Amino acid sequence: MEAALEAVYRADRDRVLARLIGILGEFDLAEEALQDAWVAAVSSWPTTGVPDNPGGWLVTTARRKAVDRLRSASASARRQRAWGELAITWDLGDGSGPIPDDRLSLIFTCCHPALSLEAQVALTLRSLGGLSTEEVAKAFLSSETALAQRVVRAKGKIRQAGIAYRVPSSAELPGRLGAVLAVLYLVFNAGYLPPSGAALVNVDLCAEALRLCQVVITLMPDQSEPLALAAMMRFQHARREARVDAEGVPVTLEEQDRRRWDGAEVAAGLELLDRARAMEPVGPYGLKASIAALHVAAPRPDLTDWAAIVALYDRLLAWEPTAVVRLNRAVAVAMAVSPADGLALVDDPVLARELDGYHLYAATRADLLRRLGRVGEAAASYRVARGQTNNRAEHKFIDRRLRQLEEPTAGPPG
Amino acid sequence: MRYMLIIHNDPELHPTPGSPDWDQLMVDYAEFSKQLVERGHAFTGDPLNDPSTATTVRVRDGQTLTTDGPFAETKEWMSGYYVVDFDSLDHALKAAAMVPSAKFGSVEVRPVAEM
């Protein structure tokens, strides 16, 4: 029975919660009512058996529990009002029909740009992922108390500032969908590249991000960008075994053992990307996934189609004219044309000013200088990069590069 | 739900009265207010004179303290406001982006606390 309960919880929880927030108009009340309904399920299902439509049963029961809670809290004027609205819209079915799917409304509300990015991530993982605040705090290296306060504040703002519980209109959709996908990608990367010192969390954030992305794909089948993001996640995931060595030091794409890439993940990513590219226009995630696809499609690093990658970065710049995209394009130019051409782009004074203090800027510059044989300048730039990051694995990587630079020029002792 | 759109301006970036840019700004504000009415959003709102005309009052221990100048000296200052009824924050934000001063100043959107 426990396994059956667990399966229902996993399959239906986010859909039931989304529906309850839609009905009750309040995150906290919906969460509490679902908790109550869950307790009722655990005590009654072992004798009555799991209902045919467990999700519908949970929604119906949680609505009753919400009424109980509102009655007992009737002193509060705000809750009184909610109770009045609830009574009017009350239509307690037998819970046998399908639950309307409110998960998109929920995800767009959680990822509303009027909320802080940290609150967006925490709300999404809590309400759609069922993670606890403690788990989210651990994964993102925040203090649990501070994160809990941000979540409370965000829920308060949703209610008081009138953030609507709905899917944005088509005119607003591109920007708002972009915000949702940014949150999902942030969650994926927190699982893929945990911040240094992050405690090991008992949740697979990569799998969770991919699952949520799949929910968006299912509910918005005519949008190409969620497909492209899922493809990108698959490509990244395919390389997970090869991206660090036995000592946990990052291995560059060029030096990775491509036999250790996961072929099934690559294939799944390519299939998603094909579906995305069949739709117009190709958006920023479509372009980034296309770039990643050119990397994974190359059997050897020297067979990478760098000219095509440069062309994709040119198109990406039209969507995202950011310094980081320009830096990545410069690397592609270095590979497609020559390290000197790449370095000239990296040394652009505007870019240098914008990325001042970003350790990957100094590290990229160091790498291009290394390729050009300018050993002294390369070492100096690696040392700058080393001072700009606290990540121990990155330090090890840079130290190794510095030793490699010193080796050929070091004279025999004595 | 009523929202206050609080308009903040940096006087260095703001058109000066009498310039062609200023005249255009006045035309744009008239058009924005007209648009609100045409779309059925009742509003109140006014421009404010600059902070050099401000006086700030505090009452402490029964004593009224009056000081010349605004509540806080800042580079950007509040130069006007609208109070408008919208059905959700999204609509308020959309309208805020259409406030002519949003192009060089900023517009803060705050829900009115209904008592």
pLDDT in tens, A310-340: 999 999 999 999 999 999 999 999 999 999 9
Best to test chain B binding among A78, A157, A163, A169 (most B CBs inside 10 Å): A163
Least confident of A95-104, A112-121, A128-137, A398-407: A95-104
Fold exhibited by the domain B2-47+76-111 = Alpha-Beta Plaits (3.30.70)
Q: Best-predicted range by mean pLDDT among A20-34, A153-167, A280-294, B57-71?
A: A280-294
Q: Is the pLDDT of residue A411 over 70?
A: no
Q: Residue A361 has what pLDDT?
A: 96
Size of interface A-B (CB pairs under 8 A): 26
Q: Residue B51 has what pLDDT?
A: 86
In terms of CA atoms, which chain A residue is nearest residue B3?
A161
Chain B environment of A156 (Cβ under 8 Å)? none
Tokens representing residue A156 in the block: 């308060």
With a threshold of 0.95, does the pTM exceed it? no
Tokens representing residue A380 in the block: 């100096």
pLDDT digits (tens, 9 = 90+) for A130-148: 888 888 888 777 889 999 9
Distance from CA of A388 to the nearest CA of B (A): 33
Distance from CA of B1 to the nearest CA of A (A): 7
Contact indicator for A112, A119 with CB cutoff of 8 Å: no
Residue among B89, B111, B113 whose CB faces A164 most closely: B89
Q: Is A114 on the interface with B (CB under 8 A)?
A: yes
- Map chain A to HEC letters: CHHHHHHHHHHHHHHHHHHHHHHHCCHHHHHHHHHHHHHHHHHHHHHHCCCCCHHHHHHHHHHHHHHHHHHHCCCCHHHHHHHHHHHHCCCCCCCCCCCCCCHHHHHHHHCCCCCCHHHHHHHHHHHCCCCCHHHHHHHCCCCHHHHHHHHHHHHHHHHHCCCCCCCCCCCCHHHHHHHHHHHHHHHHHHHHCCCCCCCCCCCCHHHHHHHHHHHHHHHCCCCHHHHHHHHHHHHHHHCCCCCECCCCCECCHHHCCHHHCCHHHHHHHHHHHHHHHCCCCCCHHHHHHHHHHHHHHCCCHHHCCHHHHHHHHHHHHHHCCCHHHHHHHHHHHHHHCCHHHHHHHHCCHHHHHHCCCCHHHHHHHHHHHHHCCCHHHHHHHHHHHHHCCCCHHHHHHHHHHHHHHHHHHCCCCC
Of A165, A148, A151, nearest to A115 by C-alpha is A151
Q: Parse chain B into domains and list their residue ranges.
A: 2-47+76-111
A164 and B111 in contact by Cβ < 8 A? no
Average pLDDT over every residue of A268-296: 95
Q: Is A160 on the interface with B (CB under 8 A)?
A: yes
What percentage of chain A carries pLDDT values higher than 70? 89
Distance from CA of B57 to the nearest CA of A (A): 29
A172 and B111 in contact by Cβ < 8 A? no
Can you list the positions of beta strands (E) in chain B?
2-9, 43-47, 55-60, 63-68, 77-85, 106-111
In our burial notation (b when 16+ CB lie closer than 10 A, e otherwise), range A113-122 reads ebbeebbbbb
Of A206, A192, A10, A222, nearest to A104 by C-alpha is A222
Q: Is the pLDDT of residue A47 over 70?
A: yes
B111 and A161 in contact by Cβ < 8 A? yes
Contact indicator for A343, A365 with CB cutoff of 8 Å: yes
Contact indicator for A393, A244 with CB cutoff of 8 Å: yes
Average pLDDT over every residue of B75-82: 91
Best to test chain A binding among B86, B90, B115 (most A CBs inside 10 Å): B90
Distance from CA of B25 to the nearest CA of A (A): 26
Chain B environment of A168 (Cβ under 8 Å)? 90
B93 and A160 in contact by Cβ < 8 A? no
Contact indicator for B86, B95 with CB cutoff of 8 Å: yes
B111 and A160 in contact by Cβ < 8 A? yes
Q: Residue A88 has what pLDDT?
A: 39
Tokens representing residue A84 in the block: 């009045």
A168 and B93 in contact by Cβ < 8 A? no
Please give the ipTM for the structure prediction.
0.75
A163 and B87 in contact by Cβ < 8 A? no
Q: Residue A108 has what pLDDT?
A: 94
**SS3 state at B67:** strand
pLDDT digits (tens, 9 = 90+) for A177-209: 999 999 999 899 888 876 655 555 556 889 889
Q: Is A78 on the interface with B (CB under 8 A)?
A: no
Q: Residue A82 has what pLDDT?
A: 55
Q: Residue A80 has what pLDDT?
A: 53
A114 and B1 in contact by Cβ < 8 A? no
Q: Is the pLDDT of residue A122 over 60?
A: yes
Q: Is A297 on the interface with B (CB under 8 A)?
A: no
Instruction: Name the packing angle between helices A2-24 and A77-88 (round to 10°).
Output: 100
Per-chain mean pLDDT for chain A: 87
